[in-house]
Homo-oligomer: A and B are copies of this chain.
Amino acid sequence: MPPAAVDDAQKRRSRARRGDGDRLRGEILAAADALLIATNDIATLSIRAVASAVGVTPPSIYLHFADRNDLLFAVCERHAIQLEAAMADAAVGVDDPLERLRLRGLAYLHYGLHHPEHYRILMMSRPDDTPDRFIDERMADVAGLLPVVEDVRAAIDLGLFPDQDPLDAAKLLWMMIHGMVSLLISKPDFPFPPPEESYQRLYEMLVAGLVTPARAAPDP
Binding site for B on A (CB under 8 A): 41, 98, 120, 123-128, 135-136, 139-140, 159-162, 168-169, 171-172, 174-180, 182-183, 186-190, 192-193, 198, 201-202, 205-217
Contact = CB atoms under 8 A, between A and B. Distances in A.
Given A160-B212, A212-B161, A124 B201 contact: no
A210 B95 CA distance: 19
B192 A171 contact: yes
A61 to B, nearest CB: 22
Copies in the complex: 2
Given A171-B193, A187-B127, A216 B207 contact: yes
Given A136-B190, A171-B192, A175-B198, 7 more contacts: A123-B183, A123-B187, A135-B190, A179-B182, A207-B216, A208-B211, A209-B209
